[in-house]
């Protein structure tokens, strides 16, 4: 049986051979938007409010080739980002990726990241604490995931958030079968990853078209698995632990952190599965939260992973159930809303939202007020700097700056109720700052 150092070395060899993920490098900022990697949007999802500060510290734990790091530095231009990984080969790609995309940093204000060749187990070697820790697709490849998550939890600042992605066993059953088949046919060549990819592809090519493994591969993964890096990560990985709800919460409980919630809450609504059976819904009311989650995954076995947030207390939350507090809050539009200004926009999960005319008018009221007119134009002022004085252009002094409106002030001019505001908030179209 392989020991933990042997397994870690095998994982390192895999990613040195097939750096993952194999996303193409670009001289432009990364495409699209993942709100889970945006501190304001992630904080809003977890606490119901806009964060008080943006100049935070972020750790990308197990960054691989840097796709997540690239998003983190561009979506959080005021943050300081550190990225660590076990594979030196993957790190080289990550550094080049972020160097190239940051060459256009003037477009987003992105900073460069600090890359470290380091295991999650050795996160204690990093100085200080982090406000946001991102750990996607890593813990399930560790020989000791509990040790890994505890190592990261120790580096999370009070009030900080941790975003985690791990595999789910029920939706990966066919993958597990293929992994075992490849290992059997490789025999003593197990650990030769190019050979494993070759064997796996030959198996798929030889199996009947109506074979369950073939159908599952074509339906779910064929597109991305055209790349050998993806195929190897899925089918010939030397270490993988797949979770169910029960074992997942054993991992979470061991972290000592607070479970805040799954980042895809719509999946975890029993109504979508048993809504047509009121008696069953009534029976389910007696279940604990974790029992309810377990029931849902047993009834919908397509789930292939869990994605969720943990927090280190105190994580101060607001649910905006108090009307007075909501009316006094200051709203602003979320940057993860696509298609604005329009009555048809996409929310943070790229789901189409049709806004009523009144809702559209409310969102217009959330826009920042225009800058006051400038009296006398710009003026040249002299300011001290190292190496002498220089002239700089400074904005002139205009009138008093208009204050951003509260929810109550906007509603005074718009026919929208508080329930509609809460609905808009639930779609993450706005962020609120308490008064």
The DSSP-derived string for 57-100 is EEEEET-TTSHHHHHHHHH-TTSEEEEEES-HHHHHHHHHHHHH
3-class state of residue 130 by DSSP: strand
pLDDT per residue as tens digits for the range 174-209: 999 999 999 999 999 999 999 999 999 999 999 999
Kindly tell me if the per-residue pLDDT of 3 is higher than 60: no
Phi, psi of 5, deg, nearest 5:
-60, -35
| Token pair for 397 | 């002094």
Torsion angle defined by CA atoms of residues 298, 299, 300 and 302, in that order, rounded to the nearest 10 degrees: 50
3-class state of residue 385 by DSSP: strand
3-class state of residue 140 by DSSP: helix
Least confident of 4-13, 35-44, 240-249, 394-403: 394-403
Confidence grade of residue 390 (pLDDT, cut at 50, 70, 90): very low
In the beta sheet, which residues pair with residue 432? 331
CB 406 within 8 A of CB 435: yes
| Token pair for 211 | 């074979």
| Arithmetic mean of pLDDT, 316-327 | 96
Kindly tell me if the per-residue pLDDT of 384 is higher than 50: no
Average pLDDT, the chain: 92
**CA–CA dist 196, 183 (Å, integer):** 8
pTM for the whole structure: 0.91
Nearest one of 413, 400, 407 to 430, comparing CA atoms: 407
In the beta sheet, which residues pair with residue 37? none
Confidence grade of residue 252 (pLDDT, cut at 50, 70, 90): very high
* Pairing outcome for strands 80-85 and 114-117: parallel
Kindly tell me if the per-residue pLDDT of 382 is higher than 70: no
| Token pair for 27 | 């001289």
pLDDT per residue as tens digits for the range 212-232: 999 999 999 999 999 999 999
| Arithmetic mean of pLDDT, 164-178 | 97
Compute the radius of gyration of the chain from its Cα atoms. Answer: 25
Kindly tell me if the per-residue pLDDT of 388 is higher than 50: no
SS3 of the chain: helix, strand, coil, percent, to 5: 45, 20, 40
- Half-sphere exposure of residue 263: CA atoms within 13 angstroms, side-chain side: 24
pLDDT confidence of residue 31 = 87
CB 121 within 8 A of CB 147: yes
Is the Cα dihedral 95, 167, 44, 265 positive or negative? positive
Kindly tell me if the per-residue pLDDT of 281 is higher than 60: yes
Residue with tokens 């809504």: 275
**CA–CA dist 8, 15 (Å, integer):** 11
* Pairing outcome for strands 57-61 and 80-85: parallel
By CB atoms closer than 10 A (0-12, 13-18, 19+), residue 283 is exposed
pLDDT per residue as tens digits for the range 88-133: 999 999 999 999 998 765 555 667 899 999 999 999 999 999 999 9
pLDDT per residue as tens digits for the range 23-53: 999 999 998 889 999 999 999 999 999 999 9
pLDDT confidence of residue 336 = 87
CB 100 within 8 A of CB 86: no
pLDDT per residue as tens digits for the range 255-277: 999 999 999 999 999 999 999 99
Is the Cα dihedral 192, 193, 194, 196 positive or negative? positive
**CA–CA dist 41, 51 (Å, integer):** 9
**CA–CA dist 16, 5 (Å, integer):** 16
CA 130: distance to chain centroid? 16
Pick the residue with more confidence: 397 or 192? 192
Kindly tell me if the per-residue pLDDT of 398 is higher than 90: no
CB 84 within 8 A of CB 116: yes
Question: How far from 172 is each of 141, 220, 234, 290, CA to CA, in Å?
Answer: 15, 11, 10, 21
Nearest one of 294, 166, 307, 149 to 239, comparing CA atoms: 166
Task: Catalogue the long-range contacts made by 222-226 (C-beta closer than 8 Å, 24 or more residues apart).
Answer: none
| Token pair for 349 | 């999960």
pLDDT confidence of residue 369 = 86
Confidence grade of residue 5 (pLDDT, cut at 50, 70, 90): confident
pLDDT confidence of residue 393 = 45
Contacts of 15 (CB under 8 A, 6+ apart): 64, 85, 86, 87, 89, 90
pLDDT confidence of residue 401 = 61
Other C-beta atoms lying within 10 Å of the C-beta of residue 135: 22
pLDDT per residue as tens digits for the range 156-165: 999 999 999 9
């Amino acid at each position: 049986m392989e020991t933990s150092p042997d397994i870690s070395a095998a994982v390192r060899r895999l990613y040195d051979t097939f750096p993952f993920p194999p996303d193409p490098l670009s001289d432009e900022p990364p495409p699209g938007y993942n709100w889970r990697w945006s501190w304001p949007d992630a904080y809003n999802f977890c606490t119901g409010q806009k964060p008080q500060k943006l100049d935070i510290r972020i750790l990308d734990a197990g960054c691989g080739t840097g796709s997540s790091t690239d998003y983190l530095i561009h979506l959080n231009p005021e943050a300081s980002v550190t990225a660590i990984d076990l594979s030196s080969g993957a790190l080289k790609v990550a550094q080049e990726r972020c160097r190239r995309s940051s060459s256009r940093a003037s477009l987003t204000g992105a900073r460069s990241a600090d890359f470290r060749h380091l295991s999650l187990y050795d996160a204690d070697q990093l100085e200080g604490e982090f406000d946001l820790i991102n750990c996607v697709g890593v813990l399930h490849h560790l020989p000791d995931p509990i040790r890994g998550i505890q190592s990261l939890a120790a580096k999370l600042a009070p009030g900080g958030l941790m975003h985690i992605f791990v595999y789910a066993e029920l939706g990966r059953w066919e993958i597990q079968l293929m992994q075992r088949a490849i290992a059997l046919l490789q025999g003593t060549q197990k650990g030769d990853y190019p050979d494993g990819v070759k064997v796996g592809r030959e198996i798929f090519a030889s199996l009947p078209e109506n074979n369950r493994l073939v159908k599952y591969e074509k339906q779910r993964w064929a597109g991305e698995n055209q790349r050998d890096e993806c195929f190897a990560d899925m089918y010939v990985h030397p270490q993988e632990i797949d979770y169910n709800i029960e074992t997942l919460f054993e991992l979470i409980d061991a972290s000592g952190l607070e479970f805040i919630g799954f980042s895809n809450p719509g999946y975890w609504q029993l109504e979508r599965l048993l809504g047509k059976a009121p008696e069953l819904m009534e029976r389910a009311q007696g279940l604990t939260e974790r029992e309810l989650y377990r029931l849902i995954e047993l009834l919908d076995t397509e789930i292939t992973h869990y994605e969720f947030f943990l927090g280190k207390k105190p994580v101060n939350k607001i649910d905006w159930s108090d009307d007075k507090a909501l009316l006094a809050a200051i709203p602003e539009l979320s940057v993860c809303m696509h298609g604005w200004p329009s009555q048809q926009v996409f929310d943070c999960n790229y789901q189409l939202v049709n806004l009523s005319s009144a809702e559209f008018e409310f969102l217009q009221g959330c826009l920042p007020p225009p800058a006051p007119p400038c009296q006398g134009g710009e003026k040249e002022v002299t300011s001290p700097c190292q190496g002498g004085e220089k002239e700089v252009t400074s904005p002139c002094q205009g009138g008093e700056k208009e204050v951003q409106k509260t929810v109550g002030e906007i509603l005074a001019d718009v026919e929208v109720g508080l329930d509609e505001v809460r609905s808009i908030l639930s779609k993450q179209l706005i962020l609120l700052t308490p008064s």
